[in-house]
Amino acid sequence: MTYCAAIRLKDGMVFASDTRTNAGVDHISTFRKLYQYGVEGERFMVLQTAGSLATSQAVFNKLQSDIDQRAESNLNTVATLFDAAQMVGECMREKMNHAKAVANSSRDGAFTSSFMLGGQIKGQPPELYLIYPEGNCIKATEDTPFFQLGESKYGKPILDRSVSYNTDVRHAARALMLSFDSTIHSNLSVGMPIDFVLYDNDSLALPNGRRIDERDEYFNTIRHQWSDALRRTLVELPKCPDGYWG
Amino acid sequence: MTYCAAIRLKDGMVFASDTRTNAGVDHISTFRKLYQYGVEGERFMVLQTAGSLATSQAVFNKLQSDIDQRAESNLNTVATLFDAAQMVGECMREKMNHAKAVANSSRDGAFTSSFMLGGQIKGQPPELYLIYPEGNCIKATEDTPFFQLGESKYGKPILDRSVSYNTDVRHAARALMLSFDSTIHSNLSVGMPIDFVLYDNDSLALPNGRRIDERDEYFNTIRHQWSDALRRTLVELPKCPDGYWG
């Protein structure tokens, strides 16, 4: 399984993907599922994936090879983020159809991937797209500032409660760390390390990002503080009135 | 959809079921999905369900009619909770097979239900069973003190964090209320009112239970305090060290 999420805020964007893949619970591996593209000062993009790892890697390879070989249309030349999202969607459908043909299969299901693409091109606003297994896409808005892929439910309540378009980007990053902590706690098939990228809007910088593992001191500090505070808050809630339970 | 959960603790048990059913998002109704059985001072049982409402209601009807008609084997006469769980599982398979035959369908899926049965029979320990759509069942243990059915993921992290076998039963009831609050917040197809039953072990009482709706003062108090505390805790977490995000 996979859990990944991306948030587009007034002042910045945060992207996070776990790195666990599994074929059954007895075949677990670590693979990067978040890649960064761009040109310092010109354009910045992060692409995240969930679904068939083979299809996803075929897409990452094709996109990178188009950049390396300076294909006429590649992630470093497309005019808009929307064009980039369409390129990813079409590339995914092409790779999926190829895999289906090789396998002589009529089912899309086992071969599809989903993607999220976020970033900024100089002179344009920052944007975030969710690219469906069908290859089409939707854009994050002020009303719906975050997207999730994969094992999204365990970690959604904390984002629902604490992230809106005007939330500070570092505050949102902390909420996202806790969202991953909850998910990892509840689903074995989502696992550390987690690849995080934080982007300040209009910086057009290519951040190094951070790979957070079990020994990350800051991550451990906030997840323990969070866990202790939840436990304390629950203990301190008022007792139910007499006769409440009937 | 449905969300229901049941917890078996050292000192008591808590059961909660939402009441929303839906066939698509444009056909939403309110139905009770939690029923109580028993004889004051002798035996206490709560039966909860998720899945096909038609099959579930057929099962509830059959169980009640067997009690009313004093069938040789009914929920008021079975020797153990395990026997009761088996009776429910077998009754469900029978009703499902009948529905499949009427519909001339070969698929189990649309006609199955799941159940949870918990309670206590005089002279025996309190027990809680999860009854699968296949009709077989498992029992809650000290290691795994709660079960959930239906839309379980949004509300699982808070139970994972705060409920263990030795947790106070009223404390666990509050955690379960918040678990429902998170679920309702994230999934439209789970809705108020919520049927709650709290049982003190060895009381062999038949509690009235409580139907919690949007106007329930205590529920609103604790969910607002919880929400405020989460928001405050998140704000008070330490800022990330310089250079953390790379």
pLDDT tens, A22-70? 777 777 788 889 999 999 999 999 999 999 999 999 999 999 999 999 9
3-class secondary structure, B200: strand
Interval B11-15 mean pLDDT: 98
pLDDT tens, B223-238? 999 999 999 999 999 9
pLDDT tens, A102-112? 999 888 888 99
**CB proximity B122 to A under 8 Å:** no
Q: Which residues of B51-65 are buried (b: 16+ CB within 10 A; e: fewer)?
A: bbbebbbbbbebbee
Residues of B in contact with A227 (CB under 8 A): 161
Chain A: give the shortest CA distance to residue B232, in Å: 10
Contact status, residue A191 vs residue A150, Cβ threshold 8 Å: no
Q: What value does the CA radius of gyration of chain B take, rounded to a whole number of Å?
A: 20
**CB proximity B163 to A under 8 Å:** no
Q: Quick one: pLDDT at residue A180?
A: 96
Q: Quick one: pLDDT at residue B26?
A: 74
Which of A5-14, B13-22, B78-87 shows the lowest mean pLDDT across its residues?
Answer: B13-22
Interval B185-202 mean pLDDT: 90
pLDDT at A113 over 90: yes
| Ordered structural domains, chain A, with CATH | 3-236 (3.60.20.10)
Cis peptide leading into A193, omega within 30 of 0?
yes
Q: Quick one: pLDDT at residue A27?
A: 78
pLDDT at B22 over 80: no
B102 vs A30 pLDDT, higher one: B102
Residues of B in contact with A233 (CB under 8 A): 225-226, 229-230, 233
**CB proximity A220 to B under 8 Å:** no
Cα B162 from Cα B229, distance rounded (Å): 16
Which of A62-71, A193-202, A204-213, B178-187 shows the lowest mean pLDDT across its residues?
Answer: B178-187
pLDDT category of residue A21 using cuts at 50, 70 and 90:
confident
Residue where the block lists tokens 């900024």: A120
Q: Which of A185, A225, A240 sits opposite B157 (nearest CB)?
A: A185
Residue of A nearest to B175 (CA): A234
Residue where the block lists tokens 């077998």: B90
Q: Please tell me the number of Cα atoms within 13 Å of B102 on its side-chain side.
A: 10
- Give the strand order in the sheet containing B113-121: B34-39, B43-51, B113-121, B127-131, B137-139
- Do residue A208 and residue B156 have CB atoms under 8 angstroms apart? no
Contact status, residue B4 vs residue B14, Cβ threshold 8 Å: no
**End-to-end CA separation in angstroms for chain A:** 43
Q: Quick one: pLDDT at residue A106?
A: 86
Cα A41 from Cα B231, distance rounded (Å): 36
Interval B33-39 mean pLDDT: 95
Interval A10-19 mean pLDDT: 96
Q: Quick one: pLDDT at residue B185?
A: 84
- Do residue B244 and residue A174 have CB atoms under 8 angstroms apart? no
Cα B34 from Cα B16, distance rounded (Å): 8
- Do residue B158 and residue A230 have CB atoms under 8 angstroms apart? yes
- Do residue A233 and residue B233 have CB atoms under 8 angstroms apart? yes
pLDDT category of residue B164 using cuts at 50, 70 and 90:
very high
Q: What percentage of chain B exceeds 70 in pLDDT?
A: 100
pLDDT tens, A83-102? 999 999 999 999 999 999 99
pLDDT at B187 over 90: no
What average pLDDT does chain B have?
A: 94
Residue where the block lists tokens 């309190």: B126
This model of the complex carries an ipTM of 0.86
Q: Quick one: pLDDT at residue A26?
A: 74
Q: Quick one: pLDDT at residue A28?
A: 78
- Do residue B234 and residue A157 have CB atoms under 8 angstroms apart? no
Selected for mutation to probe chain A from B11, B170, B230, B242 (highest A CB count within 10 Å) is B230
**CB proximity A109 to B under 8 Å:** no
Chain B: give the shortest CA distance to residue A76, in Å: 22
Determine whether B180 is exposed, middle or buried from the number of CB atoms within 10 Å of its CB (0-12, 13-18, 19+): buried
pLDDT at A124 over 90: yes
pLDDT at B23 over 80: no
pLDDT tens, A126-154? 999 999 999 999 999 999 999 999 999 99
pLDDT at A197 over 90: yes
pLDDT at A123 over 90: yes
pLDDT at B73 over 90: yes
Angle at A76 between CA A74 and CA A80, to 5 degrees: 85
Q: Which of B173, B229, B245 sits opposite A210 (nearest CB)?
A: B245
**CB proximity A100 to B under 8 Å:** no
